[in-house]
Amino acid sequence: MRDFYFFTSKKLTAQDCFEALNKEIKHVEMNGTDNIWINDKSRSFIWFDNESIDDFFLESQEEKEEFKNLIPIKDPYVTHFETHRSIDLKRVIKVLMKLYPELYIDDDGDFTASAQEYLDTEFDY
């Protein structure tokens, strides 16, 4: 599984995301108010912890400031996504961009970009 982090200016809600994803992707399930599973050929998970950037896993304040400069959203919310395949990530991004056009994604520190930049990039997974 690869870890990704979605950054948005407003909190992602599980219900809104579930309804949008369920219209366009098969085998979407929601567990309560804070988890979505997608079981279509491979498994993906979304955790709606919606922590603030200040609570994000970065180790130092300097690192947080550097990271904030990569994302042009003031005080973004962070939502955790795990998947095996880039095709699954891209399908989810396409749906979520309709709800949250200011969506930014981080590939566990390897690549941070806007949702559109992610869609335009080829990955080897």
Please determine, for residue 16, whether its predicted confidence score (pLDDT) is greater than 90: yes
Per-residue pLDDT at 38 exceeds 70 = yes
Which residues constitute the domain of residue 78? Answer: 2-119
In a domain, 42, yes or no: yes
Return the higher-pLDDT residue of 69 and 80.
Answer: 80
48 vs 120: CA distance, rounded Å: 26
Domain count, the chain: 1
Q: Percent of the chain beyond pLDDT 70?
A: 94
125 inside domain: no
pTM: 0.85
Does residue 8 contact residue 101 with C-beta atoms inside 8 Å? no
CATH, residue 69:
3.30.310
- Report the candidate in 122, 123, 118, 70 with the shortest Cα–Cα distance to residue 97: 118
Q: Are 53 and 7 contacting, i.e. CB atoms less than 8 angstroms apart? A: yes
Q: Which residues pair with 112 in a beta bridge?
A: 106
Q: Tell me whether residue 124 is in a domain.
A: no
